[in-house]
Amino acid sequence: MTQIVVLPHVELCPEGAVIEAEAGQSICDALLSNDIEIEHACEKSCACTTCHVIVREGFESLEEADEAEEDLLDRAWGLEPMSRLSCQALVADAPLVVEIPKYTINMVSEGNHG
């Protein structure tokens, strides 16, 4: 099992968390299976950016993003060099430190609330 430290996020994980994931499991699935309800509007099919995370430590242990993921990341809010779509980033054997950005680009949550 690989340790993932999740940095505090105001809504999803206010205290932060330390979770375990199996090698080969996506970061998104690891978060969801530990009751950290990260958005995944496209149901983890690499068609949106709502599961965007920033890998603060352990980034080099992840396989490189493919072209489809890179193209989507270009549209993610708060993009950084160590950004990944958590549905596509598979955990290896190195510990990770992950930050969930404060905002996502999600038409459902940003749409008209009136």
97 beta partners: 5, 57
CA 39 – CA 31 distance, rounded (Å): 10
pLDDT of residue 110: 43
Instruction: Kindly state the tokens that stand for 111.
Output: 């749409």
- Percentage of the chain with pLDDT > 70? 91
Query: Are the CB atoms for 65 and 73 separated by under 8 Å?
Result: yes
Please determine, for residue 81, whether its predicted confidence score (pLDDT) is greater than 70: yes
Tell me the pLDDT band of 102, cut-offs 50, 70 and 90.
confident
CA 15 – CA 17 distance, rounded (Å): 7
Instruction: Kindly state the tokens that stand for 43.
Output: 């149901």
Tens digits of residue pLDDT in 52-72: 999 999 999 999 999 999 999
Domain layout of the chain by residue ranges: 2-105
Tell me the pLDDT band of 103, cut-offs 50, 70 and 90.
confident
Q: Output the CATH code of domain 2-105.
A: 3.10.20.30
CA 111 – CA 30 distance, rounded (Å): 28
Q: Which residue bears the tokens 């375990």?
A: 20
Task: Give the distance from CA 4 to its chain's centroid.
Answer: 11
Tell me the pLDDT band of 106, cut-offs 50, 70 and 90.
low
Instruction: Kindly state the tokens that stand for 28.
Output: 């998104």
